[in-house]
Structure 1
Amino acid sequence: MKLHKHILLSVLALGLMLTSCEKPFDQLEQDPNRPTSAPASLVFNGVLNDMYSIAGGGAWNDSQRYNQFYASNYNYYATNEYSWTSTGLYYTTLKNVVKMEQEAKKAGLPDVNAYSALGKFFRAYFFEQMTKRLGDIPMTQALQGLDNQTPKYDSQKDVYVQILKWLDDANSDLTSLIAKNDNNLSGDIYLNNSLAKWQKVVNSYKLRVLVSLSKKESDTDLNVKARFADVVNNPTKYPLMASMDDNLQYIYNNQYNKYNRNPDNFGQNATRENMAATYLGTLTSLKDPRTFVVAEPATAKIAAGLKPTDFAAFVGASSGEDLAIMSSNANQGLYSFQNRKHYYSTYTAEPYILVGYPELQFSLAEGINRGWAAGNAEDYYKNGILASWGFYGLKDGANTVYFSADGGYKVFNTYTVSVSFADYYAQSAVKYAGNSADGLKQILTQKYLAFAQQSGLEAFYNQRRTGVPTFLVGPGTGNSQRIPLRWQYPATERSYNAANNTSAVQSQYGGNDDINAAMWSLK
């Protein structure tokens, strides 16, 4: 018995020793090499980078082919087909937005702070990116983690109602913070932590959303016309971008942060991509000097006797052309390629605009043309064209342009072209035709030209909504020579949220998750 007693006491003592020096089980489960929190500024920076990626991730990619700004003539890398399937969702980024707000609060910031205000804008931005690709999406019950792994779908109308509310709330919060000079923002790769500039972005983006809902202008819940007029009539309450300096844009600054076309990939794609006729043909038909900055003259046209500065020397390929024919024609010098000086001679080329001043000007012109607000649509229309010209360095008077001298990107011939905005604007195809259907078509055409290699799929979304410009189709575009209207829901939704997904597809598209079906906002 004594022996047993001594053993028991020894075991108890050992247990007490172990208990006193060991950490609780939940602490042992934590990996010291994996952080459980991060500064709000760091999460914010990640969300900003996601904005860039989701907005196309730069120029000369799939989005810009679907916008018919350029075309692939080499099917090893890409085709020009619109045979879309599913799209990705952005809930992971939205979870990071929630995390950013939480970390700001943990750091002691008040309920309304710079991160929470921009968090509302980010919600509007990423949910809008999803709904205009798909239609109905989970929103109200989304972002609840394990508490709800099968969120119901909200109607596209309800999503847009909430988007507009988030944008209004973000504007109100930013107004309050700016008035109090209360700004804890850091990590901003776009606007140098300026809340005043972010507020301009929020309101300019709101006009993008409102214009995108033009087919629903009579819906009383959305109240598109009154909301648009409210922004136009109250510039103090709703400050807007005032110049190109206010653009939300991604800057390329060195060979480690490269523009999508640069000296390193010249051999890979310079001759395997040519300009698309929808874009380049529109420029040349208007005798637009942007032609000389964005494209090279077709070598076959020069060999036939045209001058490099003749608009007829610039030829784009129809995106609908059979790929084998396009490839053959491109190899024969029948088509224009990207301007080597502008796009390939450096690593920085031009900024990539996510939300920009030219778009804003055309949105204002469109809304006024439609009768949503009072104002001079022609002034905004002119401002948009001039801003886009300025982006390419074009000005009235003599302008120097460069074309490849040897088919490469290092030796260039220089030419002088005389530019006159007055002469350009005097053309009947350009001079604003007034607040009419013809005037609206002019606004939309110039908006399309200003979107070139910018803003992800915005050119496509505008064309989908308005039919301007006419997108070219044929065997090369696939999809039975149709331009699709949407993407399919991702397989994860069909697998893990099947009942809600099936219900959403049934209520919107008659049970067929069809890329050619029109969503609510397009009806």
Structure 2
Amino acid sequence: MKKYIFSFLIITLLASCSDYQLLEKNPNLPTSVPSSIILRNVLSGLNEGAWDDNMRFNQFYCSNYAYYDTNEYNWQSASLQYTSLKNVVKMEEEAVKSGAKALNPYSALGKFLRAYSYVNMTLRVGDLPVKDALQGLSVDKPKYDSQKEVFIQALKWLDDANNDLASLITTGDRTLDGDIYYGNNLKLWQKAVNTFRLRVLIHLSKKADDADLKVKQDFANVLSNPTKYPLMTDLSESLQYVWSVNNKYPRNPDNLGNNATRENMSKTYMDLLKGYKDPRVFVVAEPAEAQLAKGLKATDFDAYVGASSGEDLADMSTKAGRGEYSFQSRKRYYSSYTGENTFVVGYPELCFNVAEAINRGWVSGNAQDWYERGVKASMSFYGIADATAYLAQTSVKYAGNNATGLTQILNQKYIAFFQNSGYEAYFNWRRTGVPTFLVGPGTGNGTKIPLRFQYPLSELSTNADNVKAAISSQFGGSDDINSAIWLIK
């Protein structure tokens, strides 16, 4: 009898467990997500926005109202993209689960997205986990790889992505969906991959002679093999985010009363435009009211005045209130919800990167031609059809493959980055010192521009030993925002 009761209890418990396993599944929650939906979400995250912290730290504009923001560079923890990278892994898994071959458009773009995210992250902090990362529970405390190793891996991913896309284009694979940038066009994606690759190589300019990285050789190989490594050919092929009424441009009619006059243009940016007598200033900014009161016209370059990012915030606020500084063009930036497209990787940048490589002697070619292409493309973005007179000015005309010519290229690239491409303007300043960023009491941090962000606090709490080892090997044990990363040493 006892045996019978015991057996009955076991059967009952097993049945209960089975019932529980069935009951715990929520039929209203999906057990898988289409790769296209994951891709759309990840691609949306590539857009770093406009008129935000990035652009203030790029010294394109200033906040003159402390309630919203200051202009201080008291940077803390970086925001890293490992969650997005986990989504990339899931996207690849779901593509195969749904019947795709091992080589498919999602796996090819997955390699680009890995490279893009890792480059973005390492430019912020330095060393990062790569080999041990994204392994799930099997490696919960990943070791850090050096920044050099991060770049080597990123360049390999980009090369693999290019080759994979070429194969898919040849076979006519059209299974991609969810692409918010190129409408699932793999040929345009291949151009974006290789254009981004040249950006990565330019970031490595201080390591151009490294035998492992082969920066000069890689750049020349891409540029001299357009069939194997196609690049963007005009502005329309830029990897650019298009705003919509459902996802509004950051400056629009809804926030006109909040920040239109609580932000003013930066002297760093405005003085470059004025010095070059650049007509883009008339498009992006408004003349300072105080200058108009003196009798200047809206067509006078001297009517446009930017504030130094280093100015004391209270002083800036007072002067802005008196009309001494130019505001962003309310006609351009507050008249619609869709605004202007925001580059992730733009064609003008490509032109300036090629011009820089030629100027530095990495590759042969006509630097002036590429320089002028970049200027014309940027002008076109602002609706300026003819740049002939502008390019003929002594200050703008390419000075040749020398230091002056290089500064011209870098200044024009900075101008073209306005409200585009995330922190790229800052990263290029950090690498080259061009243009001169302004400092003072308003920028904080002991009137220094930081050279990096700190590692996230979450990493210090969950992977302390490894992140501390990385901090020790790079910066002598101090996670200091003013310490130079390997890339710029």
Aligned partners of 1:242 and 1:379: how far apart in 2?
A: 14
Question: Counterpart of 2:296?
Answer: 306
Aligned partners of 2:278 and 2:405: how far apart in 1?
A: 18
Q: Is 1:170–2:161 an aligned residue pair?
A: yes
Once the two structures are overlaid, the 10-residue window that deviates more, 86-95 or 458-467, is 86-95
Aligned partners of 1:332 and 1:209: how far apart in 2?
A: 44
Aligned partners of 1:368 and 1:36: how far apart in 2?
A: 52
- Three-state SS of the structure 1 residue aligned to 2:251 is coil
Matches within 5 A, 1:17-36: 23=18, 25-36=20-31
- Three-state SS of the structure 2 residue aligned to 1:367 is helix
Q: Is 1:338–2:328 an aligned residue pair?
A: yes
Once the two structures are overlaid, the 10-residue window that deviates more, 16-25 or 213-222, is 16-25
Aligned partners of 2:4 and 2:204: how far apart in 1?
A: 78
Aligned partners of 1:505 and 1:14: how far apart in 2?
A: 58
Question: Counterpart of 2:379?
Answer: 389
- Three-state SS of the structure 2 residue aligned to 1:138 is coil
Question: Counterpart of 2:242?
Answer: 251
Aligned partners of 1:142 and 1:19: how far apart in 2?
A: 39
Matches within 5 A, 1:317-396: 317-396=307-386
- Three-state SS of the structure 1 residue aligned to 2:91 is helix
- Three-state SS of the structure 2 residue aligned to 1:442 is helix
Q: CA deviation at 1:20?
A: 6.8
Matches within 5 A, 1:16-55: 23=18, 25-52=20-47
Question: Counterpart of 1:426?
Answer: 392
Q: CA deviation at 1:240?
A: 0.3
Aligned partners of 2:32 and 2:303: how far apart in 1?
A: 58
Match for residue 468 of structure 1 among 423, 434, 437: 434
Q: CA deviation at 1:427?
A: 1.6
Q: Is 1:290–2:256 an aligned residue pair?
A: no
Match for residue 111 of structure 1 among 77, 102, 105: 102
1:447-484 Cα deviation digits (max 9, x unpaired)? 00000000110000001000000000000000111100
Matched letter for residue 33 of structure 2: A
Aligned partners of 2:443 and 2:436: how far apart in 1?
A: 14
Q: CA deviation at 1:498?
A: 1.0
Aligned partners of 1:459 and 1:77: how far apart in 2?
A: 23
Decide whether the 8 Å contact of 1:319 with 1:474 is kept in 2.
Answer: yes
Aligned partners of 1:43 and 1:345: how far apart in 2?
A: 33
Q: CA deviation at 1:27?
A: 4.0
Q: CA deviation at 1:204?
A: 0.1
Q: Is 1:228–2:197 an aligned residue pair?
A: no
Match for residue 178 of structure 2 among 164, 179, 187: 187
Aligned partners of 1:13 and 1:81: how far apart in 2?
A: 72
Q: Is 1:239–2:235 an aligned residue pair?
A: no
1:191-230 Cα deviation digits (max 9, x unpaired)? 1000000000000000000000000000011100000000
Match for residue 210 of structure 2 among 219, 236, 246: 219
Once the two structures are overlaid, the 10-residue window that deviates more, 117-126 or 425-434, is 425-434
1:388-410 Cα deviation digits (max 9, x unpaired)? 010011123xxxxxxxxxxxxxx
1:487-523 Cα deviation digits (max 9, x unpaired)? 0111112111111111111110011111011000101
Matched letter for residue 131 of structure 2: T
Please report the TM-score for the alignment, with normalisation by the length of structure 2: 0.97
- Three-state SS of the structure 2 residue aligned to 1:153 is coil
Structure 2: which 5+ runs fail to align? none
Q: CA deviation at 1:28?
A: 3.9
Structure 1: which 5+ runs fail to align? 397-420
1:365-408 Cα deviation digits (max 9, x unpaired)? 01111111111111110010000010011123xxxxxxxxxxxx
Matched letter for residue 35 of structure 1: P
Q: Is 1:517–2:457 an aligned residue pair?
A: no
Aligned partners of 2:460 and 2:12: how far apart in 1?
A: 54
Aligned partners of 1:27 and 1:358: how far apart in 2?
A: 57
Aligned partners of 1:306 and 1:70: how far apart in 2?
A: 23
Aligned partners of 1:153 and 1:481: how far apart in 2?
A: 31
Aligned partners of 1:28 and 1:80: how far apart in 2?
A: 55
Question: Counterpart of 1:404?
Answer: none
Match for residue 60 of structure 2 among 62, 66, 69: 69
Once the two structures are overlaid, the 10-residue window that deviates more, 139-148 or 316-325, is 139-148
1:142-199 Cα deviation digits (max 9, x unpaired)? 1112111110000000000000000000000000000110121001111100000000
Over 3 Å counting, the alpha-carbon distance change for 1:120 and 1:301 in structure 2 is: same
Question: Counterpart of 1:412?
Answer: none
Decide whether the 8 Å contact of 1:86 with 1:490 is kept in 2.
Answer: yes
Q: CA deviation at 1:31?
A: 3.0
Over 3 Å counting, the alpha-carbon distance change for 1:24 and 1:229 in structure 2 is: farther
Match for residue 411 of structure 2 among 445, 467, 492: 445
- Three-state SS of the structure 2 residue aligned to 1:274 is strand
Match for residue 477 of structure 1 among 443, 456, 472: 443
Q: CA deviation at 1:77?
A: 0.3
Matched letter for residue 248 of structure 1: L
Aligned partners of 1:190 and 1:265: how far apart in 2?
A: 27
Question: Counterpart of 2:257?
Answer: 267
Aligned partners of 2:351 and 2:432: how far apart in 1?
A: 17
Aligned partners of 1:289 and 1:515: how far apart in 2?
A: 37
Match for residue 495 of structure 1 among 457, 461, 465: 461
Q: CA deviation at 1:35?
A: 2.1
Question: Counterpart of 1:95?
Answer: 86
Aligned partners of 1:307 and 1:356: how far apart in 2?
A: 33
- Three-state SS of the structure 1 residue aligned to 2:120 is helix
Q: CA deviation at 1:51?
A: 1.4
Decide whether the 8 Å contact of 1:113 with 1:183 is kept in 2.
Answer: no
Seq. identity, %: 59
Once the two structures are overlaid, the 10-residue window that deviates more, 323-332 or 490-499, is 490-499
Matched letter for residue 410 of structure 2: L
Matches within 5 A, 1:87-166: 87-166=78-157
Matched letter for residue 37 of structure 2: L
1:99-149 Cα deviation digits (max 9, x unpaired)? 000001101111110000000000001111111101001111011121111
Q: CA deviation at 1:19?
A: 6.1
